């Protein structure tokens, strides 16, 4: 894999990641093996992306054939209709990048024979005999049913194989990817979907005459997220998302982490959890040694010397010599009808307005906290602006405030605020 920047080098743009310092050694990608289960809307696009990235070896699994109905979302061609998806994928991918080693398996992994072949192919280390663990570096689940996902989950738990799961909703407007590391993260049986937990045959849920929607855009986005996290995992750059969702209607990308269930129904998962716990001291020692080897972090200088406005980023702690933090002064904002419309926080010369979601009627409770600073009340309540129960001090007044001799405890202040808020809600 050459890093030479010439039009005849298909890897020059990829190797630029190494020259720019994003990836330490991109050429390592030639040593990795990826298994893709399901060569459909997501799997076929993911296979194409990895092939263009120069992956070393791809194992492709699917039992279906190419149909004209697939043309809206897959990378197959009309002249390949009738071919198995695995054979058609090998034909297309080898044309894109002949350097990639391609293995195809036309089988159903949910059958006994198919599952055994799937397991043995993952164990095969002919591509990289010195590799630790199984013969692949990552398994990508791109199937469209829970039965196949549970089969992948079982195989990866037994082999202690890290895998990435992906899926697209039936209405084709949302999707997700999820990283599963046996013993460290939740497996697919730790928190199973309702259709799996209830033991329902999902084939009985399919309605006659109803076709699941499919958008090539959603498939492409999910495939892109899947391959991006695959590259980050393999090449060690950036942060791999433990779970990343995608809602195309709102362009919303939720993330979360899922810990393993100590009462998981999968025996292999429980075994991996025990192994992970026993290996914790060794991991902690390795992390400590790595931190010590890196040495103390060097403090970075300013981003730019030209700072006309003297803008700086400071810690929110008090200066040295004090042991308290100023949590500001809180004010109630009310309307003439005694309806709570918000409360304000005045802290270090700044005024923040926070709108609550509750309302109350009756007498307004004067809610304020003077933390480390007395509240100036010049003019009295009669002279206050409408909607403000306590007058906001000016910046000059705030700077001249005298700090009380006895510092106020922040926890006590927060408890008092909490009690008064509860009184508001119960009124």
Q: Which residues are catalytic?
A: 211
Residues 166 and 171: their CA atoms lie apart, in Å, by 15
Question: If DSSP codes are grouped into helix, strand and coil, which group holds residue 23?
Answer: coil
Residue 421 to residues 26, 29, 344, 353, 389, Cα–Cα distance (Å): 56, 57, 14, 16, 15
Strand ranges, E, within 130-171: 138-141, 163-168
Judging by DSSP bridges, how do beta strands 329-334 and 340-347 pair with one another? antiparallel
Nearest to 404 by CA among 305, 307, 322: 322
User: Residue 302, Cα to own-chain centre: how many angstroms?
Assistant: 31
Beta-bridge mates of residue 340: 334
Residues 156 and 19: their CA atoms lie apart, in Å, by 35
Tokens of 347: 């802290």
Beta-bridge mates of residue 84: 65
Tokens of 79: 């002249």
The secondary structure of 163-205 as a DSSP string is EEEEEE-TTSSEEEEEEE-BTTB--TTTS--HHHHTT--GGGG
Residues 43 and 61: their CA atoms lie apart, in Å, by 10
Q: Which residue has the tokens 């791809």?
A: 58
Question: If DSSP codes are grouped into helix, strand and coil, which group holds residue 297?
Answer: coil
Give Cβ neighbours of residue 9 (< 8 Å, ≥ 6 apart): 2
Residues 181 and 188: their CA atoms lie apart, in Å, by 11
User: Residue 27, Cα to own-chain centre: how many angstroms?
Assistant: 26
| Residues comprising the chain, all counted | 427
With beta carbons less than 8 A apart as the criterion, state whether 420 and 336 touch: no
- Crossing angle of the two packed helices 267-278 and 280-294, in degrees rounded to 10: 50
């Amino acid at each position: 894999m050459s890093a030479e920047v010439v039009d005849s080098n298909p890897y020059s743009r990829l190797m630029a990641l190494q020259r720019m310092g994003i990836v330490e050694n991109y050429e390592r990608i030639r040593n990795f093996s990826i298994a893709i289960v399901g060569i459909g809307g997501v799997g076929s696009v993911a296979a194409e992306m990895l092939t263009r990235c120069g992956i070393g070896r791809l194992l492709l699994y699917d039992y279906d054939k190419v149909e004209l109905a697939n043309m809206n979302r897959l990378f197959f061609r009309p002249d390949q209709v009738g071919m198995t998806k695995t054979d058609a994928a090998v034909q297309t991918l080898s044309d894109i990048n002949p350097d990639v080693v391609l293995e195809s398996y036309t089988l159903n992994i949910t059958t006994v024979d198919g599952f055994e072949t799937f397991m043995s192919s993952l164990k095969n280390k002919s591509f990289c005999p010195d590799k630790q663990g199984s013969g692949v570096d990552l398994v990508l689940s791109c199937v469209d049913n829970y039965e196949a996902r549970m089969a992948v989950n079982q195989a990866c738990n037994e082999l202690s194989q890290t895998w990435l799961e992906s899926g697209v909703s039936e209405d084709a407007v949302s999707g997700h990817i999820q990283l599963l590391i046996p013993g460290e993260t939740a497996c697919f049986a730790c928190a199973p979907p309702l259709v799996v937990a209830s033991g329902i045959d999902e084939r009985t849920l399919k309605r006659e005459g109803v076709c699941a929607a499919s958008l090539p855009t959603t498939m492409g986005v999910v495939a892109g997220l899947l391959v991006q996290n695959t590259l980050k995992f393999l090449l060690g750059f950036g942060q791999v998302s433990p779970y990343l969702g995608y809602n195309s209607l709102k362009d919303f990308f939720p993330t979360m982490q899922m810990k393993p269930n100590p009462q998981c129904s999968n025996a292999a998962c429980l075994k991996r959890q025990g192994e992970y716990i026993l290996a914790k001291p060794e991991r902690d020692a390795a992390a400590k040694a790595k931190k010590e080897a890196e040495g103390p972090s060097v403090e970075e200088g300013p981003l730019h010397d030209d700072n006309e406005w003297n803008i700086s980023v400071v810690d929110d702690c008090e200066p040295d010599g004090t042991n308290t933090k100023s949590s500001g002064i809180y004010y109630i904002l009310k309307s003439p009808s005694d309806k709570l419309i918000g409360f304000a926080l005045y802290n270090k010369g700044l005024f923040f307005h926070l709108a609550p979601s509750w309302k109350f009627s009756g007498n307004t409770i004067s809610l304020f906290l003077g933390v480390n600073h007395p509240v100036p009340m010049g003019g009295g309540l009669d002279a206050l602006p409408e909607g403000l129960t306590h007058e906001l001090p000016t910046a000059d007044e705030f700077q001249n405030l005298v700090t009380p001799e006895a510092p106020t405890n922040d926890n006590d202040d927060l408890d008092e605020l909490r009690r008064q808020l509860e009184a508001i809600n119960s009124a």
